[in-house]
Structure 1
Amino acid sequence: MRRLLSGPWSGLAVASAAAVLMAATPASAADDSALEGVDLVTPEERQDFDLSGYTVTDPSAGYFDVDERRAWLKQQDSALINQEIEKLRLGSSCQSLKDLPVLSDRFALPGFYPQPDSWRLAAEPFFKFEDAVSKLAGRYVVTGESYYAKCIADFLSRWAEEEGFLHFEYKPITPQAWFAVESSLFAAGFSYSIVREEIRESWPEAARKVEDWLKAASERHAGFHTIALSCCNNHFYRRGLHATVIGIATDDDDLLRFGVSAIYSALREMNPNGSLPREMLRGSRRMHYQNYAALYLVFIAELLERQGYPVYDLTVDGRSLHRIIDYTLDALDDPEAYEEELGEAQDLWFMDDPQYFAWMEVYGARFPSDRVDRIVRNHRPIYNRSAGGFVTLYFYRPSASEQETEIATLADRSFRLRDDYCAKHPQWRDKRDTAWRVECEARLHELQEGKKADLGVPDPKLIDKGG
């Protein structure tokens, strides 16, 4: 490798960034405006960033202090945190992992948007892998038992021996396998970073095998590039995330710098208002992809902060990561105003899925904010099987006042102050319970008018017991 990874990058033609964007997604007039005055960064230009000042300073640091967090977990008294702890204490045996097949043969996946059902079926092995490593790491944090560290060591060693994730199909017109490997790699990297020190001390041969494999897989995956939109948008930040966490764990400066280049690229390209122009090309999904990009950039930043680099305060032409985050929070805090500003309705399905708010636990722990807490409150406890795992368990420290409302929040975490909540609730959708619907609409109206809105707690009769 040279600078930010050469490998498969060398000798491949790179289209201009503007051509890449226009070829990838039909742009409306609003989309065109997202590119006005933007200094788009090509993959070739990223290779020339001078990031020599960034090196791995502490391979053991990971993305949070495991020992410190475990000590805090033992003395805290949060109903929400204790619920997470108890769930993890009831974890399954490592023996069940032996039934998970290693994805070692050349594989391909159908596209997510054109074939969602086929994609979910084909992606199931990736989800199981990500859940396995993330849950094992969570159990290790909660219990401190070497059993779970050894389990991760054995599990990942098998994937290393059988060359998991190294033989996926990559074609610019069918990149879904490439995308799927992204999240599985940073799931493995995050989880390994949690148990790294114990594995290195107790099973050094397994540590060497796993680290060599993680490094090879990350290098190979990041080494591919495309002339499509994913060359440089949120998918590039995803590649930057696995390169960062794996680069730190394997003490590899080149991989670390690849991750740093994602931060520099985002800051150089961002619009003055904090929006990311490549994500603004996504039409009704702009809000979703702005948030998606923020998720990966925040995790990269947290990893780099743990290495001693104050990247949250980094500015490129006066632009900082905080501005990207502020824009994202503005949209999430008031989606209707965001839609009005854009002049286009947004697909807000992701706002009911807690995993997309994982970055807020990380950012909110470093920069406490009433607004962040207000947005993320009803999504806790947050688990993202690939990006950070049990982030509420690892980062959230509730105040005394927050603990007073946790029981109600736990009982009602599926409740949303959305106009369609009652219509989409199973009590109406599946049972056509008219009396329930009438009461639900009345209660929803009360909450929208501000009565008990700070808690967001519906009448107990409306609580979804399956929450």
Structure 2
Amino acid sequence: MIFEKPCPTRKTGNRHWLHTLFLLVLAAMACQQAMAYSYEERQNIDFSKYTVTDPNASFFDVDARMKTLENTDNSMLLERMDHLQMTESCKSMLSKPPLDNRIRIPGYYPSPKAWREASQPMFDFSEDVSQLAGAYVATQDNYYGECLINYLNKWAEANALWKFYYSLDDRQAWYSTESMMFGAAMAYSIVRPRIEGMEEEKKNIDAWLNRLAKRHSAIQGGLKGSCCNNHFYRRALYASMIGILTDDDELFQFGVSAIYSALNDMTPEGGFPLELSRGRRATHYQNYALLYLITNMQIISRQGYDVFNLEVNGHSIRDAVNYLMAIIEDPSQLKDYAPHEQYQGFMKYDQYFTWMEIYLTHFQQPDLEKFLEQYRPVYNRGAGGYITLYFMPPGKQQRARYEESQEKQERADIAIPERN
């Protein structure tokens, strides 16, 4: 399933003409790189060698990890496991109504408060499924796995998330459901093969996730960045995981196609041009793209494909990682791609850096390891949940480098919408 990738357009309004010219130059640079594959060429790319080889493979080796956790004396991991001795009962979680009505979410930038209020049930869903999966891994108690299956089955029976409002000028509901889908699929992949019975519930959930993924991914996003940028990578993330769970090669290949697209479209330095075109948020969006790309690569690699060493037009994912670290350390390395006065707000939150934990299980990179130490334990309610619990080698780090109160701060949602 490959799609057209038109160059993005941007409105500049009545800005000063020099600023407008600057934006046009950036867009031209991004467009030149982004069109390295024409639509016709993209249709001819053959991803048929990528097929689902193990529908029961989660995004990490769950059995091996639970065995490691049984014997660990790592204080950080033990604290995380204690944290997951849940206080909220399964009955309480199951009492929450599924989102079976038409979903419409106001835009974030014009109305952050209204957006947060409308989005809260979606946040709760992602928190619930990641917590149940994490509690299952930490305790190995089937209570949590069975609760997760019952929870998702309730949403499947209601055909929740099926009805959402979408137009080219109002895409927020489309954006917001992305993370719910990959959050549910990744959590479900942890427990499904290990919980015996419940076959009818599993069948319902599989069909529901597959149905949602195909409907949602059929929307290309129009002529703006959503067709091809980080939102494409987010759609690819759920496509890969749900494709595996439901043994659907078409969905799985859609997920793989995003990796090829991202590597192909890189600037010579390793930047993602549609992310760099975000101006003062270029660094944030370079990192944001990596969050989904590397998590997706981990899912794909569990099917036996060496995508972490994949090269397209001489670029590998290592180029994008090295470029990110360079522009974080020295924003002047952005050169003419974006202003050097970069937004740094995202660096307060561990959720943006869960991909690093995964990446470091594939490559040794001391600067990345040192950077991640200040954020551990890392957690992302959508993109995998308790990632440090699932991936960090027990000998790496014993204690968090930040105060516990930071973890309790309100988390900035990672599904930042595109500016229209």
Using the size of structure 2 for normalisation, the TM-score is 0.89
Q: Aligned equivalents of 1:42 and 1:188: distance in 2?
A: 34
Which of 77, 80, 87 does residue 84 from structure 1 map onto? 80
Which of 360, 366, 387 does residue 356 from structure 2 map onto? 360
Which of 265, 273, 279 does residue 283 from structure 1 map onto? 279
| Contact 1:134-1:187 at 8 Å conserved across structures | yes
Gaps of 5+ in 1: 416-424, 426-467
Q: Aligned equivalents of 2:405 and 2:323: distance in 1?
A: 25
Instruction: Report matched runs for 1:324-403 at 5 Å.
Output: 324-332=320-328, 334-338=329-333, 342-399=338-395, 402-403=397-398
Which of 135, 139, 144 does residue 143 from structure 1 map onto? 139
Match of 1:222 in 2: 217
1:42 CA displacement: 6.4
Instruction: Report matched runs for 1:116-265 at 5 Å.
Output: 116-199=112-195, 201-227=196-222, 228-265=224-261
| Contact 2:129-2:187 at 8 Å conserved across structures | yes
Q: Aligned equivalents of 1:291 and 1:377: distance in 2?
A: 17
Aligned residue-pair number: 397
Match of 1:22 in 2: 9
1:312 CA displacement: 1.2
Which residue identity is paired with 1:66?
A: V
Q: SS of the residue aligned with 1:315?
A: coil
Match of 1:458 in 2: none
Q: Aligned equivalents of 1:87 and 1:102: distance in 2?
A: 26
Using the size of structure 1 for normalisation, the TM-score is 0.80
Q: Aligned equivalents of 1:247 and 1:80: distance in 2?
A: 33
1:31 CA displacement: 4.5
Match of 1:72 in 2: 68
Gaps of 5+ in 2: 13-19, 410-420
Identity percentage of aligned residues: 40
| Contact 2:159-2:208 at 8 Å conserved across structures | yes
| Contact 1:339-1:345 at 8 Å conserved across structures | no
Pair 1:413–1:40, CA change in 2 (3 A): farther
Which residue identity is paired with 1:194?
A: I
Match of 1:438 in 2: none
Q: Aligned equivalents of 2:213 and 2:38: distance in 1?
A: 20
Match of 2:319 in 1: 323
Q: Aligned equivalents of 2:383 and 2:168: distance in 1?
A: 25
| Residue 92 of structure 2 is aligned to residue 99 of structure 1 | no
Q: Aligned equivalents of 1:103 and 1:307: distance in 2?
A: 32
CA RMSD, 1 decimal = 2.3
| Contact 1:24-1:229 at 8 Å conserved across structures | no
Q: Aligned equivalents of 2:392 and 2:157: distance in 1?
A: 37
User: Bigger CA drift: 164-173 or 106-115?
Assistant: 106-115
Instruction: Report matched runs for 1:303-314 at 5 Å.
Output: 303-314=299-310
| Contact 1:380-1:413 at 8 Å conserved across structures | no
Match of 1:434 in 2: none
1:304 CA displacement: 1.0
Normalized per residue, which structure has more helix? 1
| Contact 2:125-2:180 at 8 Å conserved across structures | yes
Which residue identity is paired with 1:195?
A: V
